[in-house]
Amino acid sequence: MENERVNYGPLHGLWAVTNRELKKWYKEPFIFIISLVQPIIWIGLFGKAMNLGAIFSAGSLNIPGLNIPKQVIDGISQEVLKSTFGTTDYFSFLAVGMLSFIVLFSAMSSGMTIVWDRRLGFLNKMLTTPLPRGNVIMGKVLSSVIKALVQAVIVLLIAILLGLTFSAQLTIMSIVITFFALFLLAMGLSSLFIMLAIRSTRWETQMAIMNLLNLPLLFASNAFYPVKLMPSWLKPVVMINPLTYANNVARAMLIGVTPTASVAFSVIYLLGFAVIFSFIGIFLSWKYISS
């Protein structure tokens, strides 16, 4: 043992923890597919079935007694959509919003794994090895981030198949910046949900927390609807919600919607969110992970 090449560096075992979680995921195609079904259904339901653009273009809109020419109605519809969503294509608006949605749902379940690890004794097993405490948490965060980004890529590809139209100015950089923003969002959210689970031994508690937070986080963001049309009491909440900033970046970069907050500010905001929450996560894991 003494004269062995053993790596006790601060990052040792990090990839092992990460890869353990990933294996469970990619070796179970069923779970993998199920996790993709939800955003696809949402894209289909909200983007296609509830296509707001169709309200005007379905042809039935008219005012009795006034013979408004079709061009006028079409013109109005284009302007209404443009001033509301920043684009005439609601489907694309929503499909891009789905990227942060899938990141949120993926990150949310990351807390569950730590509850099970604690319950089944695996956590204690890890804690009796020289594995650095922070890596227990960071490995889980990292695996959750990777899962979230892979799912985001797939959702984007499906959206393209369903008719997402990119902005004319799309470059490789726009995609890189979008995924960087999603990476930061995933990092912060995963840390947050793992933090909430760090002392918990009951998966019921964790489920309750997830259910409490998922839809409010989603609807109190600009994922479905633009901020400027929201009631004033809701606006501050939406402007704190990191999902809003990820959507800002993704929409500006991919479909050319002028964002409410600048892309640079949004990325910095997300960076702060990710850094602060992962540091709190590591700090708490050193302090509270042992029973």
Partner 1 sequence: MIDPIIKVTGLTKIYNHTVLAVDHISFEVNRGEIFGLLGPNGAGKSTTIGMLNTLLKPTEGTAQIDGIDVVKEPSKVRRIIGVVPQEYTADEDLTGWENVMLIADFYGIPHDVSRQRARELLEMVGLLEASKRKVETYSGGMRRRLELAMGLINKPKVLFLDEPTLGLDVQTRTAIWEHIKKLKSQYNMTILVTTHYLEEADEFCDRIAIIDKGKIIKADTPENLKKSIGGDIITIQLATDGKEVDQVLKGIEGVFDIKNNGDGLLTLKVNDGGSVAPTIIKTFTQMNLNVARLTLARPTMDEVYMAYTGRNLREEQASSEETFAMRRTLRRARS
Tokens of 121: 């004794």
Q: 20 or 235: whose CB is closer to partner 1? A: 20
Q: 104 or 123: whose CB is closer to partner 1? A: 123
Identified binder of partner 1 from the candidate list 3, 7, 169, 232, rule CB under 8 A: 7
Helix (H) or strand (E) holding 134: helix 133-161
Tokens of 149: 């980004």
Per CB under 8 A, 5 contacts partner 1: yes
- The binding track of 130-159 with respect to partner 1, each residue x by CB under 8 A or -, is xxx---------------------------
Identified binder of partner 1 from the candidate list 12, 48, 199, 235, rule CB under 8 A: 12
Residues in binding contact with partner 1, number by CB under 8 A: 31
Residues 104 to 133 in contact with partner 1, rule: CB under 8 A: 116, 120-122, 124-132
Q: 65 or 121: whose CB is closer to partner 1? A: 121
Q: 2 or 172: whose CB is closer to partner 1? A: 2
CB of 13 to partner 1, least distance (A): 5
Distance (Å, whole) CA 84 – CA 88 = 9
Q: 86 or 139: whose CB is closer to partner 1? A: 139
Question: Could you tell me which of 55, 97, 95 has the C-alpha nearest to residue 77?
Answer: 55
Give the count of beta carbons closer than 10 Å to the beta carbon of residue 182: 25
Per CB under 8 A, 290 contacts partner 1: yes
Identified binder of partner 1 from the candidate list 23, 70, 82, 202, rule CB under 8 A: 23
Question: Could you tell me which of 288, 246, 285, 287 has the C-alpha nearest to residue 140?
Answer: 285
List Cα–Cα distances, 46 to 51, 91, 94, 128, 227, in angstroms. Answer: 7, 8, 7, 49, 18
CB of 83 to partner 1, least distance (A): 51
> Going by C-beta distance under 8 Å and a sequence separation of 6 or more, which residues neighbour residue 219?
none
CB 291 within 8 A of CB 199: no
Residues 27 to 56 in contact with partner 1, rule: CB under 8 A: 27-28
How buried is 269 (Cβ within 10 angstroms: 0-12 exposed, 13-18 middle, 19+ buried)? Answer: buried
Contact positions toward partner 1, by CB under 8 A?
A: 1, 4-9, 12-13, 15-16, 20, 23-24, 27-28, 116, 120-122, 124-132, 290-291
